[in-house]
Amino acid sequence: MPIAENIKRGITRSNYATKSAEESQILQNNYGKEQVFDLSVSNTLMAPPPEFVEVLKNFVELPQPGKHRYMENAGFMANRSMVAERLKLETGLNFSSDNVIMTCGSSGALNIIFKGIFNPGEELIVFSPFYPEYVPYLENYSGVCKVIPTNDDFTPDLKALETAITPETKAIIINSPNNPTGLVYSAETLKGIADVLSRRGTELNTTIYAVSDETYSRLIFDGITYPHMFNHYVNTIALSSYSSELCIPGERIGYAAIHPDCEGGKEVSAALIHTNRTLGFVNCPALIQNVVRRLPETLVYLKDYQRKRNFLFGKLVGLGYKVVKPAGGFFMLVKSPTRDDKAFVTELKKQLVLTVAGSEFQAPGYFRISYCVDDKTLERAVAVFQRALVDNK
C-alpha cells in the first residue's frame, strides 16, 4: 500500500468543504459561474475593510530590513500583547502576552492544542451538531471524539455531558457562535458547563480542559454581548481567527489563548509553542501579523451580515421552512422538508443551488446554508428554495 491506511480512509470519507468546492467548480464549468449559487462553504465573498487594504499596501511598500524573517514560534510579542489587551478588556482577567500564541488560523490553533494536551486514547467531548473537521484533527494525534446530543433547541445538554465524562476525558470543545447553527451560548449555559466540568474533575481527580472555539465571536448580531468561557472556568483554552472578522480566510492568522489562572498554564503554553514549531507551522506568517497588529479595532461591516441573515431568515420562514435563527457567524441551519436531508440537498444541486446536508454535521434532517455571499446569489437562491419546498409537499 503506497499511502497510510488512515489517510486512505480519510480521502474516501473526504469532507464537505472539499466535496462542495469540487461540485461547485464542475457546475460552474458546465453552466457558467453566474448560474451557480454556492451557499455551501464559509469562503466569504465580502471584501476586507478598506483600512486593511491601505495598511497592507503601506506595509509592503515600507522599507524595513528583516520584516519577512522568522520570529519566535509564539509570534510577534506586539501581536500577542494586542490579543491579550483585547481579552483583558472583554473578560476583566489579567491576560498577558505569555498567555497567547499566534497561529495559522483557527485550524492551526486546534491542531497545536490537540497535539499539546492529548495522549493517545484520551477523549474529546463534542456537542452535536459540530464542525466535522474536529474529528480528523483529533485523530491526527490518536485522540478519540465522543459526540453527545444537544437539546431540541441545539443548546448543550448538561445531563448528557455529566454522563459522558469518564477518567479518559481530557477536554470538551465549545463552539459559540456555533457552526452550523449560528447559536451563541448564553452565560448561563457556559456556567452550567463549567459547573459540570469542575464537579466531575474533582470527583475523578483530573483536569478537564474547556477548548473554546471562538472563531466567529466578533460576528454577533442583535446587540448581544459575547459571553466568554474564560469568565466561568479557569481551565479554558480559547482559539479564534481574523478570517471572518476581516474577511481574510486565505491569509491564515489566528491565535490560541490560555486562561491566566489555568492549572499548569505555563506548561500548557510551552506545549503549544512547541507543537506550533514541530507540526511545521513554525510561526504564524510575518506579513499578516504585521498588518492585523495595526488594525486592533477594525471589523468587517457587521450590519451587512445581519442584513443578509434577516433577509434569508425572513424569506425562508415566510415560505414555510423551519429555521434556526443564528445570533452570530454566517451559517443558518434549516429543517429539510424531506426526511432524507442528503437527497434534498441533491435536489437543490440539480437546480444549481449548493448547500450542505446536516448529516455532515451530525444534524440529520437539516441542511446548512452559508450566507456570506452577494445579495444577488441569496435572492436568486430563494426562488429555488421555494420551488423545492412546493415539489416536496
**Residue for grid cell 489555568:** 262
Backbone angles phi, psi at 154, to 5 degrees: 70, 10
Q: Quick one: pLDDT at residue 17?
A: 60
Q: Is the pLDDT of residue 19 over 80?
A: no
Q: How does the average pLDDT of the chain come out, rounded? A: 94
171-182 tens-digit pLDDT: 999 999 999 999
Q: Distance between CA 261 and CA 246 in Å, rounded? A: 30
Torsion of CA 86, 90, 92, 95, to 10 degrees: -30
- Domain ranges (residues) in the chain: 5-49+300-391, 52-293
Q: Distance between CA 101 and CA 283 in Å, rounded? A: 9
Nearest Cα residue to 127 out of 57, 55, 181, 54: 181
CATH dotted code for 52-293: 3.40.640.10
Are 5-49+300-391 and 52-293 equal in CATH topology? no
C-alpha cell at 140: 491526527
- The angle, 0 to 180 degrees and rounded to 10, between the axes of the packed helices 286-293 and 77-91 is 40
Q: Is the pLDDT of residue 57 over 70?
A: yes
Q: Quick one: pLDDT at residue 18?
A: 65
**Residue for grid cell 466531575:** 200
116-156 tens-digit pLDDT: 999 999 999 999 999 999 999 999 999 999 999 999 999 99
Q: Is the pLDDT of residue 45 over 90?
A: no
Q: Does domain 5-49+300-391 bear CATH number 3.50.50.60?
A: no
66-125 tens-digit pLDDT: 889 999 999 999 999 999 999 999 999 999 999 999 999 999 999 999 999 999 999 999
**pTM of the predicted model, to two decimals?**
0.95
C-alpha cell at 286: 510575518
DSSP conformation class of 226 = P
Q: Is the pLDDT of residue 20 over 80?
A: no
306-357 tens-digit pLDDT: 999 999 999 999 999 999 999 999 999 999 999 999 999 999 999 999 999 9
Q: Quick one: pLDDT at residue 221?
A: 96
- The angle, 0 to 180 degrees and rounded to 10, between the axes of the packed helices 50-61 and 286-293 is 120
Q: Is the pLDDT of residue 234 over 80?
A: yes
Nearest Cα residue to 254 out of 216, 303, 221, 210: 216
The count of other CB atoms within 10 Å of the CB of residue 10 is 16
Note whether 38 and 19 are within 8 A (CB). no
